[in-house]
Amino acid sequence: MTIQQLEYIVALDNYRHFVKAAEHCFVTQPTLSMQVKKLEEEFGVQIFDRSQKKLVPTNAGIKILLKARQIIREVKQLNELVSNQMKSMEGSFRLGIIPTLAPYLLPLFLPAFIKVNPQTKLIIQEQQTTDILNGLKNDLLDIGLLVTPVMEHDIREIPLFNEPFLAFFPEDFPLKGKEAIEAEALDLSQLLVLTDGHCFRDQTLNICGHHGHAPGLNFDYQSGSIEALVNLVKQGVGYTLVPELAVKQCNFKGQIRRFQTPEPVREVSLVVHNSFAKEALIDSMRTEILANIPKSMLSQKRYLRVNWR
């Protein structure tokens, strides 16, 4: 058994396709197939069931793959420690960021981060929270930017800032001169929310004290884009909640209102797997983010954190 063979079976499990797994490992498909077969013969069990239309691991294979991922992760960590990689920012790193953060947070800190770390390449992917957590656990991502707490025992959370939720209404919406609104006073029948799977949707419904969409609008729009909901509101269709960073960067033609104190916020954090050893990357990214967001978001005093789980 070799580390390379373990990497082959993990790649095959990730892609469930021999050719794609071989391309990922920079070997030919026959080479990968032969090494997987050798490992199965050494273990005396079949790791993958090839009799099905779709390649899947056997019951024994699932256990072997779990341990293989752990071994690969620990070997990678050991190599980084030996080569003093904890202090180095050189190389490529995979960053996962949720869609309701990416358009607003990346433009704030990414230019400064790149300037300070020219030897670092970030491979950035927009993903939902569940996919980011799975990516960290399966070594498909190095670091994530999302909303916490996630309460996963093998995930480390590094809280960064609190971002307030704001309410966005059409220009002609009757607010009666209110500067700050109460969540309890909102008309739930006119509320536009993101589709299932977005933590921002769950937080919006938690703020409004409602866990299902109340009837009122004569359409059901499944959207994963805050901008799409905002554009509907601009045309006089309902209202929605938006993150404050979006308001600071986008042209909102309508009425923006804060919530009464304590303001509801989402806690934005960096997340990594517990085995992640690149403290320099965490420190540098944290530093650039905190240096480029509104200072008001660093306060803890007037906020009410809204969970999504």
CATH number assigned to the domain comprising residue 222:
3.40.190.10
**What is the pLDDT at residue 285?**
96
Q: Are residues 115 and 208 in the same domain?
A: no
Identify the DSSP state of 155.
E
Q: Are residues 197 and 283 in the same domain?
A: no
Entry pTM: 0.70
Q: Are residues 68 and 207 in the same domain?
A: no
CATH code for position 56: 1.10.10.10
Provide the domain limits for residue 292. 89-161+267-298
**What is the pLDDT at residue 277?**
82
Q: Are residues 168 and 250 in the same domain?
A: yes
**What is the pLDDT at residue 287?**
97
Question: Is residue 233 in a domain?
Answer: yes
**What is the pLDDT at residue 79?**
83
pLDDT digits (tens, 9 = 90+) for 250-290: 666 668 888 888 888 899 999 999 999 888 899 999 999 99
Question: Is residue 29 in a domain?
Answer: yes
CB 269 within 8 A of CB 160: yes
| Tokens 């095959």 -> residue | 12
**What is the pLDDT at residue 281?**
92
**What is the pLDDT at residue 177?**
64
Residues of the chain with pLDDT under 50: 211-213
CB 286 within 8 A of CB 158: yes
CB 304 within 8 A of CB 264: yes
**What is the pLDDT at residue 213?**
45
Question: Is residue 306 in a domain?
Answer: no
Q: Are residues 278 and 154 in the same domain?
A: yes
> How many domains are contained in the chain?
3
Q: Are residues 275 and 152 in the same domain?
A: yes
What is the rounded distance in angstroms from the CA atom of residue 195 to the CA atom of residue 189?
16
What is the rounded distance in angstroms from the CA atom of residue 261 to the CA atom of residue 181?
9
Burial class (CB in 10 A: 0-12, 13-18, 19+), 182: exposed
Q: Are residues 176 and 260 in the same domain?
A: yes
**What is the pLDDT at residue 273?**
96
Task: Report whether the peptide linkage leading into residue 159 is cis, meaning its omega lies within 30 degrees of zero.
Answer: no
Tokens of 279: 């403290």
**Number of DSSP helices (H) and strands (E) in the chain, helices first:** 10, 12
